Chains A and B, each alone.
Chain A
């Protein structure tokens, strides 16, 4: 059986080596590209996790990737957004002034310290470290096996912003770091997003990716 094809979208910033390598280890063919025809014929698309929101949006715009991406998503292409990539699926981010994301999921991206703070004297930002992911919603179809598999596992987080979805059903899992709880996995139909870096989360991360590529 031929290998499935993953296209990793390139915002021109940071280390794509690890996520490419982790994905290859899961048995998919990996291509880093912004070419619309590559995007269209891919089995999976991945929005990687490094860089700043506004720079990534600018880069997507400059490379004319926004419309091909939105079309692919509307047509049911299986998409994974990691960290920044997950945040890009939403409507707006306040990082470095307001910037518009792809808007395929409703809601905003906000600083983690604004998210939910109860009696915590100092919450250190960025949130760096290994935290547990707790399943909240089943997630329909494609995403339910991925979320079942990762419930209770520890993953690596490194972020200063979190997503604030308008529809709570989209939150498949949450994570608590100190006293702050935030969405760690979101998903709807063909879309899946994770705030952590599966390519940096050891065995648990590789397992998460394997489950994604199996759907």
Chain B
């Protein structure tokens, strides 16, 4: 099968001026300066960089803008910006500070018309719908969460994902809440369930911490890339090394 190229995306959770990381979105620890880490990941060859504002209050908004602006000065790869984008103007501010794509989670579920309005103005390739998925106990089902794994929506993830394409988004990003920050491997059942029918480009994340994790996800055949956070920040995975391992195993990725 002649497949499309797989992407390695670095995710940085930002709170105020800091890069932070939690486990299952809780117990947030400060790791360092976001721009130092994003520069390293760019130099190591990240295909895209995702800045997620975990607080997304009005006060913190200025910090993320300046972080993104500084990143776009030096990092010549696509930047995805998410967290607290509630209206078209928030997206405009994100693009003006240097974002190439905005990631909508809470607002996408509560107000899908926002997806369409941003896509109409900036193009569908500029809109990513981000879905946080938490497994329902004793069932092969996942519930969509918002606000960095804090709020339940009652919505079924697989069903919601199948509706996203109609709203004009260009891409879907799924994160496993259960696995996020754990570095214990991805939720493969989740990835299998959402990728089997999906017509949009799909990025997945949550718990990815080894080449083997990435290879398993790649082998599903319908996922377009992985999003890695904690494993990168803690030095467990290095993007340059990961890319070489993937290429040596015959996976189809960008060669630098």
What 1/0 flags go to A89-108 for Cβ under 8 Å of B?
00000000000000000000
Asked if residues A179 and B2 are in contact (CB atoms below 8 Å), the reply is: yes
What 1/0 flags go to B67-104 for Cβ under 8 Å of A?
00100110011100000000000000001111110000
What 1/0 flags go to A132-173 for Cβ under 8 Å of B?
100000000000000000000010101110000000000000
The answer for the CA separation of A128 and B77 in the assembled complex, in Å, is 13
Interface of B is mostly: loop
Q: Within the complex, what minimum Cβ distance (angstroms) separates A115 from chain B?
A: 15
B124 at the interface (CB under 8 A from A): yes
Asked if residues B4 and A17 are in contact (CB atoms below 8 Å), the reply is: no
Asked if residues B224 and A129 are in contact (CB atoms below 8 Å), the reply is: yes
The answer for the CA separation of A124 and B200 in the assembled complex, in Å, is 5
Q: Within the complex, what minimum Cβ distance (angstroms) separates A150 from chain B?
A: 14
The answer for the CA separation of A131 and B6 in the assembled complex, in Å, is 10
Q: Within the complex, what minimum Cβ distance (angstroms) separates A204 from chain B?
A: 8
Stretch at the interface among B51-59, B115-123, B147-155, B186-194: B115-123
Contacts of B201 in A (CB 8 A): 124, 126, 128-129
A15 at the interface (CB under 8 A from B): yes
A130 at the interface (CB under 8 A from B): yes
Contacts of A17 in B (CB 8 A): 69, 72, 96-98
8 Å CB contact of A200 from B69, B73, B78, B122: B78
Binding site for A on B (CB under 8 A): 2-7, 42, 45, 47, 69, 72-73, 76-78, 95-100, 120-126, 170-171, 199-201, 224-225, 253-256
Given contacts A52-B121, A84-B123, A120-B2, 5 further A-B contacts (CB under 8 A): A50-B122, A122-B199, A128-B125, A202-B42, A202-B45
Instruction: In the A-B complex, list the 5 residue pairs whose CB atoms are closest, starting with the nearest.
Output: A130-B254, A158-B125, A126-B125, A154-B254, A178-B4
